[in-house]
Amino acid sequence: MNNKRNYEYLLSDLSSLKGVGTKTKNLLKKKNINNLFDLLWKLPKSYTDRSLSSKVKDLKIGEIQTVTIIPQKYNFPRVRKLPNRVLCTDETGEIDCVFFNSYEGYIKKILPLGREITVSGKITHFRNKYQITNPKYLSEDSSLIKQVHNKYSLTDGVSEKIYNKILVQIIDNLPDFKEWHSKSIMSKFQNISWNSSIKELHKPKNIGNFKSNFYQRLAFDEIFSTFLVNSQIRKKIRKIKKKNKNINIKKQNTLISNLDFSLTNDQIKSLDEINKDLSSTNKMFRLLQGDVGSGKTIVSLISAINTINSGFQVAVMAPTEILARQHYKLAKKIFPKNINVELVSGKSEYKTKKVILKKLEDNKIDIIFGTHAIFQKKVIFKKLGLIIIDEQHKFGVNQRKRLSDKGGVDCDVLLMTATPIPRTLTMTIYGDMDISIIREKPKNRKPVKTYSKLEAKIDDVLKYINKEIKLGNQIFWVCPLIEESKKLDHSSAVKKFEYLEKKFPNQVSLLHGKTDLEEKNLILNNFLKNKFKILVSTTIIEVGIDFPNANVIVIENANKFGLSQLHQLRGRVGRGDKDSTCILLLKSNLSENAKKRIKILKDTNDGFLISEEDMKIRGFGDILGFKQSGIKNFKLADPIHNSDLFVLAEKEMRRIEKFNENIAKFKPLIKLYDRADIINDIA
């Protein structure tokens, strides 16, 4: 069997297995099991030892036991509700096999009179006699029953017996892959093969053995496959030769000197890295990662002006219209008057939009701001040289690649995220990109003071808010839910709005996920214009909008949020020159983890440190507080416990890239773990 056939077997449809019909296949698909390979990662949670056989006289009530017996007599009552019974014996005593809702023919087939049958099941006692009810493990071949049977987190409708039978089939037919790793890597895992590792993984004695060589090897394979895919994407992008931009440093420095603040060292370093990419003949595919309020936007806009001064157009995409408008206003403020700056929004009239799109096509617009609509097919650029996307977390690897392709040969791509994440995750999520990091905050940026307050002390919070309103300041009030939930004891935004409206009449507005887009933009604009003082909202206000006059944020049920999300929410204030405050409202009965999270948030404003701590507490699956399409859902690997494997994978990937090694030997690995259409051309 060649390598192609090997991995194709594991990627084949579930129906290729014996005992898997349409019904079982559909049930497994509900658990996101779509092929044989997916089944391998549904690991046993525990096991049932049916290997030891007992005599009837030694059976223990309430335990699962195995016994070899001879059926002696059938008892099929005429009364429908009564169960069918089969009297069975061994040389030491009697036991009944009891069946509910089973046909006589079926029972006679599985328990023929006078034949020796091995049965395993839970032993009960009824009218002074042992019995096993509805036994599923029984056979004339005792070797099929006297085994250690794994127990899995089962899909409804798929029995443990069927599940084991399916997995045994796959494991018995596992392909023997030719080793893809180097001798140096293999020595780290005591030279255990992929095939042997899978077999060890499913042995009952190895449940939870995360430090074993087989578990580590398989976790490494998973990590390394991601590094391989990212490396290939980088390679493909670097092969694209583009027309370089000529950076006019004099014009750049004039713009910087006219700003009413100085750039930080991290901003200058990031700008230099971007300029180097822009002026090279290789396409830029860079992520600008920075903490809340670190000044990513200004760096991206300086990059934009450098691109425009080189004779190219720039497109800036933001996740919301209000954020796009905010960037547009900043560009209008800092760019020279001869730069043509435009904004396309959902509110734009058809005629206006048509004129803007025509000007864009005729190269009469230098930079355009908008939401995802600016990348629709009907939007045509004459000479697009740079795409800037704010809040990158909305895009996964394949979306990023498509976006890069859409921009054309001469178009560079800069993506920004205000979500600091741990290095092990950065390697994985953004491994297809070059990365610039801004950790340093601008000198004029004051840290937000964070306090925790019990819900019972809400009157103290209201007094504080009243004082801030009198000083002319504004307040965010964040709630986890939109409406009351009977199941969850959370405050709802709607209820809190009604409560605060009574306390502060005509000074409160409400924003939540069900607010339509037009109304949402109107509410946010009115808040920006200081038309009301308190904005009650769900977490939808967390993305980088500047409200310089808002200097207080109250977060209800703060213990229900992740650390990184609390930090993102806290970043909505402290964007002006005033002292700012974050108040975490809490219930009295906090878990230990919740207490840890609150303490960390009160102790630091460093988003990178916070994300590391968040991952340690919560795991990596959802550290950002929302479903992130870019995060690979690892089956075995864990960025906390396997950080050494991430470092090893990075080192090995660099070695392979340095010596330009042929990665064809890794094709089965890539196909199995990523099924990435992006590298179909591997030989």
| Contact present, 13 and 37 (Cβ < 8 Å) | no
Whether 249-438 shares its CATH topology with 449-604 is answered: yes
Task: Confirm if 497 and 558 have CB atoms less than 8 A apart.
Answer: no
Most confident of 266-275, 288-297, 504-513, 669-678: 266-275
Could you tell me the two tokens for 227? 């590094």
What residues contact 671, with CB distance under 8 A and at least 6 apart? 7, 11
Cβ-count burial 398-434 (b if 16+ within 10 Å, e if not): eebbebbeebeebbbbbbbbbbbbbbbbbbbbbbbbb
Q: Are 480 and 538 in contact (CB under 8 A)?
A: yes
CATH superfamily of 449-604: P-loop containing nucleotide triphosphate hydrolases (3.40.50.300)
Do 136 and 48 meet the contact criterion of CB atoms below 8 Å apart? no
d(CA 666, CA 178): 10
Of residues 430 and 658, the one with the higher pLDDT is: 658
Q: What superfamily would CATH give domain 249-438?
A: P-loop containing nucleotide triphosphate hydrolases (3.40.50.300)
Query: Residue type at 666?
Result: F
pLDDT in tens, 587-614: 888 888 888 888 999 998 888 888 878 7
Domain ranges (residues) in the chain? 1-46+163-175, 51-146, 177-239+642-683, 249-438, 449-604
Task: Classify residue 263 by its DSSP letter.
Answer: P
DSSP letter string over 400-432? HHHHHHHT-TT-EEEEEE-----HHHHHHHSTT
Summarised one tens digit per residue, pLDDT across range 138-170 is 999 998 899 888 887 766 778 777 888 888 899
- Listed range (34-48, 193-207, 289-303) with the worst mean pLDDT: 34-48
- Neighbouring residues of 595: CB distance < 8 A, sequence distance ≥ 6: none
pLDDT at 490: 47
Highest average pLDDT, of 237-251, 515-529, 530-544, comes from 237-251
Domain 51-146, CATH homologous superfamily name and number: Nucleic acid-binding proteins (2.40.50.140)
